[in-house]
Amino acid sequence: MSGATLTIRRPDDWHLHLRDGAMMEGVLPCSAAHFARAIIMPNLSPPVVTAHDAASYRDRILAALPKGSEFEPLMTLYLTENTDPADVKAAADSGLVKAVKLYPAGATTNSADGVRDFDRIRGVLEVMAETRLPLCVHGEVTRPEVDIFDREAVFIDEVLDPIRRRTPGLRVVMEHITTAEAVAYATDGGGDLGATITVQHLMLDRNDMLAGGIRPHFYCLPILKRGTHRPALVKAATSGNPAFFLGTDSAPHATAAKESACGCAGCFTAPVALACLAEVFDTAAALDRLEGFASKHGASFYGLPLNDAKITLRKGDPVEFPRLVQTGDGPVTVFDPGKPVHWRVAS
């Protein structure tokens, strides 16, 4: 199969961290080179909370795009306990905002302004159910007594399912799912429930991160799980079920902040995400389903048109990807799965 090529509709990334300022300028071209659109995460410091914040962040992204790029940032709002339902409705009606992001307070990077008391966001969720604006959920409980490897499964039972039951019509994206429990929940969720899956969770498990040395560039949240979960994720991604779609969660941090006694969470996968994904689908003998997962299911869930442009991937000898991307905030280490990847984006 050496020399094979695969041409698909240009993919979208339904979960992306671009940051701001010098970091954004450094990493944005990596996503713009391969993806047509991306859902842009709002966990800046301070977060993107209002429609006004989202409009100016969007302007900064557009201004930083390489000349001629048609990459389209799809903006989100960071849900706080003080978010004004009227502002959310106006942002949705105007088309500026494509989703609202729920971070449980303390769950991950820049989540301190997230939600502690889920009763306090009921008004916003009801408006979102009416307007059909999706809620993107970082699905982990943060109670310290819950083991970090159990936080996603507990969240589904204790938070997500109750919210969905009491808010009929609410559209939810379970972001970066990592467990067989999440796959099962999303599989049975009906048309109002979707789930994104990252490249690192399709390729790695916690042994890759922790056995034989600690690999900080594999540390992300939700954390890589026990090896039994990865096949469930691969099966979901390659199943053709439109509930599952690509969200890379590419999350750049300066290398020094990752290789630290208390390292930041996030894998910077943007430059290699599609090559790695093709490897996963090829290994699963499911290359014919790659386009659905990367280029169709997410757009359908969000009610957006499919991209007409195409991208071609080519298979050959194992590829050497760049190790670092330089930014004005320092070098950022590019995700390296530690196993051969035979695919590359050709054009």
For residue 143, CA distances in Å to 140, 162, 201, 322 come to 9, 17, 23, 39
65 vs 265 by CB, closer to ligand DOR: 265
Go through the chain and tell me how many residues it has: 347
Binder of residue 220, out of Zn ion, ligand DOR, none (CB less than 5 to 8 A by kind): ligand DOR
Q: How far apart are CA 201 and CA 17, in angstroms?
A: 17
Among positions 101-120, residues that touch ligand DOR (CB under 6 A) are 108-109
Our finding on whether 269 is near ligand DOR (CB under 6 A) is no
Q: Per-residue contact track with ligand DOR, 240 to 259, x per CB under 6 A?
A: -----------x--------
Q: Is 265 in the site for ligand DOR (CB under 6 A)?
A: yes
Cα–Cα nearest to 1, from 338, 283, 291: 283
Give the three-class secondary structure for 135. Answer: strand
Q: Peptide bond before 46: cis, by omega within 30 degrees of 0?
A: yes
Whether residue 331 is preceded by a cis peptide bond, meaning omega within 30 degrees of 0, is: no
Nearer of residues 108 and 142 to ligand DOR, judged by Cβ:
108
State the number of binding residues for Zn ion (CB under 5 A): 1
Under the binding rule (CB under 5 A), the answer on residue 279 touching Zn ion is: no
- 221 forms part of the interface with ligand DOR (CB under 6 A): yes
Question: Would you say 72 or 249 has its CB closer to Zn ion?
Answer: 249
**Alpha carbon distance 102, 134 (integer Å):** 11
| Cα separation, 300 vs 321, whole angstroms | 31
Give the residue with the Cβ less far from ligand DOR, 221 or 236: 221
Nearest to 36 by CA among 301, 335, 298: 298
Eight-class DSSP state of 287: G
Site string for ligand DOR, 137-166 (x = CB under 6 A): -x----------------------------
- Per partner kind, with CB cut-offs from 5 to 8 A, the member of ligand DOR, Zn ion, none near residue 109 is ligand DOR
Cα separations (Å) of 215 from 148, 207, 219, 269? 17, 10, 7, 15
162's tokens: 């109750």
Which residue among 31, 34, 43, 333 contacts ligand DOR (CB under 6 A)?
43
Q: For residue 140, state whether it binds Zn ion (rule: CB under 5 A).
A: no
* Contacts of 285 by beta carbon, 8 Å cutoff, 6+ apart: none
Site for Zn ion in 249-268 (CB under 5 A): 249
Nearest distance in Å: CB 110, ligand DOR: 6
Known catalytic residues are 249
Judged by the rule CB under 6 A, the positions of this chain that interact with ligand DOR are 17, 43, 108-109, 138, 220-221, 251, 265-266
- Contacts with Zn ion by CB under 5 A lie at 249
